[in-house]
Amino acid sequence: MKTIGLLGGMSWESSIEYERLINTEVRSRLGGVHSADLVIRSYDFDTIERLQAAGDWEGAGKLLAADARLLQAAGAELILLCTNTMHLVADAIESAIDVPFLHLADATAAAVLEAGVETVALLGTRFTMEKDFYRARLESRGLTVLVPGADDRAVVHDVIYDELVQGRIIDASRTRYLEIIDRLVERGAQGVIAGCTEIELLVTPSDVDIPYFPTTRLHALAAVEAALETS
C-alpha cells in the first residue's frame, strides 16, 4: 500500500470525511484491521480563507506547494488536495513534487463520463463556479458545464462560508440548494457536481432525482485505487 499525503483543513469538516472515506475503503478492500497509510497537513482554515478573500493565489500556491514537499519528505507517495477551490493552485503544487498529484476534477470527470452524463451542473464556491481552472478541466474532457445564475451563485457561496465550513447544517439552506439544482435541470443539466467538499454535508444523492457526483467521495476512492494498485 502506498502512503497517501493529504493537504487538508480547508475546512476540517470536509477533510475528516476524506480520512473516513479513505480508511473505510481500505478496510473494506483489505479486511481485518487494515487502515490507510496517511500523512496529513491540516491548516487553520482562517489562514487559507484570508488568502482567498485577498485574491492572493500566488501566496496560497507557495504555501501549499511547500507543504506538499513536506508531505513527500515525510513519505507520501501520492498527494491529494482535500478541497475543490484550492485546485486553482494545483499547478504550483504539482510542479513542486516528484510524486503523483491526483487532481480532483479528473476523478470527477471520469465519474460523470462513466455515468453517461454530457451536461452537468457545477455547484461550489464562487471561485470554482466563476473561474475557469475547474470548469475548463471538465470541459477538456468533452463535458458541457452549467453554473447557476449570479444570484444563485451568491447563495451557494454564502451557505458554504457562513454555514457549512462552520459545521452548521441548516434545512432551509438545503431547500434553497435543491431549488437552484432544479433551475439548472430546467436549463439542461443531466447531473450535478457537488464541487465543494462541504456541500456533501448538506445535499446527499437521495435529495436529488438526477445523477449526483460527490467530489470528496470520488476523490477519496480514486486515491485508494491508486494507493492499492500493483505495478
| CA-to-CA dists, residue 97 to 73, 75, 77, angstroms | 10, 12, 10
Q: How many beta carbons lie within 10 A of that of residue 58, not counting itself? A: 11
Q: Which of 187, 182, 191 is nearest to 111 (CA)?
A: 191
Instruction: Give the sign of the dihedral formed by CA 165, CA 170, CA 172, CA 178.
Output: positive
CB 94 within 8 A of CB 55: no
Alpha helices in the chain (DSSP H): 12-30, 45-54, 57-73, 90-96, 104-114, 126-130, 132-139, 150-162, 171-186, 215-228
DSSP 231: -
Annotated active-site residue 82? The verdict is no
Of these residues, 83, 125, 128, 215, which one is catalytic? 83
Collapsing DSSP to helix, strand or coil, 4 comes out as: strand
Of these residues, 196, 197, 215, 216, which one is catalytic? 196
**Which residues belong to the active site?**
83, 196
